[in-house]
Amino acid sequence: MKLPLLSFRPVYVIGIGFHRYQALSATPYVNLGLTAAREALADSGLPWESVDSAFVATALLPMASGRPMLRHLGATGIPIVHIENASASGSAAFRAAVLDVASGVSDVSMAIGVDKPDPVRQSARAEAINGLDNLANDAIVPFTSFALRAEAYARSSRCQVADIALVAVKNLRNAAKNPYAQRQKEQTLEEVLAGKPVAGIFTKLQCTPVGEGGAAVIVASEEALKRISGPLRPVQVLSSAASSQCASGDPARHDVELTQATVKKALDQASVSVRELDVLEFHDAFTIEEIEYLEAIGYCGAGHAIPMLKEGAFDIGGGAAVSPSGGLIGMGHPIGPTGIGQIGEIVRQLRHEAGERQQPQARLAMAHMVGLGAVCYAHVLRRP
């Protein structure tokens, strides 16, 4: 029998930490991850010895990267699980940590994401080496397929293709106020459109940069909260939903269909409506994704996202702050940490500690991630 998350014991995020997302550097991945982990521990008010389990999200590092990293915090004998789920690796690790605590297996769990591209050892997608020939393997890559979708959306909604780039303008404006973001410079619409062409209508600033970084969160039960001597700032996890691709539907837009179904599950579990959300963090690897996902989850009707974007409905201070972190376009997308970093931003927002990025009176928020269009995660969190 399938049980909603609310059927388990309550789970709270009690600590968040980051290493800034950045372009490839000489910094060892261990430093990236430990910076985030130590910041999360300090934020939680609990020592490493109180952590019962750890889930490590990576996509670009060699196997078993968590142990050489976490042993510097202390060899406490806890179970360490490594998780790879494409762009949703961090979201999958967060879900695993939440369920570990919700089920009573652990009282305190850490989800930590860290990644570092290797320019020599290029990471290949498993689908590219599955032994099946495909004439389109070299032609259809993410930026080409999403560029085609952007052009199709512009035709069907009768908007200008330049309007889609306004997503990048908004998210880069948010990222400029985020000390952990990879891109920290505001850009005008003209500057975004004048950037280096990538595919179709997309320029470089309409696509996420893939760099390196770290993010960590600590989740805990109510019993664990009683052991914290410092000030409590817990944020409750109301729901955790996950889905994978179905055989039916439009194969060119299965990420949209997955998003619609997964977000519905998350909202139903949390017993909230989409319009109650004050903050949304989306998988916006390309500008068109934010537009399509907003419409898919029912926040607005088909063809209405661009007019609402122009009106400022998705700005910080608008009806709902969409990607106040800067999203993948501004914050960056080191892959392993990305989904966990979304949770960190949401927790900061729900604590009302986001400074210039703060959405006023934020109470409910949702994080959404897609992994290669084939898996999807959604989490709803609430300020107690």
Q: pLDDT digit of tens for each residue in the chain (384 aa)?
A: 455 555 689 999 999 999 999 999 999 999 999 999 999 999 999 999 999 999 999 999 999 999 999 999 999 999 999 999 999 999 999 999 999 999 999 999 999 999 998 876 656 666 666 666 666 656 567 778 888 898 999 999 999 989 999 999 999 999 999 999 999 999 999 999 999 999 989 999 999 999 999 999 999 999 999 988 878 899 999 999 999 988 777 777 889 999 999 999 999 999 999 999 999 999 999 999 999 999 999 999 999 999 999 999 999 999 999 999 999 999 999 999 999 999 999 999 999 999 999 999 999 999 999 998 889 999 999 998
Q: Which of 23, 64, 27, 17 is nearest to 214 (CA)?
A: 17
Confirm if 344 and 217 have CB atoms less than 8 A apart. yes
Q: Which of 37, 36, 88, 82 is nearest to 63 (CA)?
A: 82
- CA gap 48, 15 in Å, rounded: 12
Residue spans per domain, the chain: 9-118+209-382
- CA gap 362, 279 in Å, rounded: 7
Does this model's pTM top 0.75?
Answer: yes
Query: Domain spanning 9-118+209-382: which superfamily?
Result: Thiolase/Chalcone synthase (3.40.47.10)
- CA gap 98, 351 in Å, rounded: 19
- CA gap 14, 27 in Å, rounded: 28
| Cβ burial, residue 78 (10 Å; 0-12/13-18/19+) | middle
Query: Which residues pair with residue 214 across a beta bridge?
Result: 19, 114
What does each C-alpha distance from 292 to 41, 120, 230, 330, 365 come to in angstroms? 37, 35, 43, 18, 19
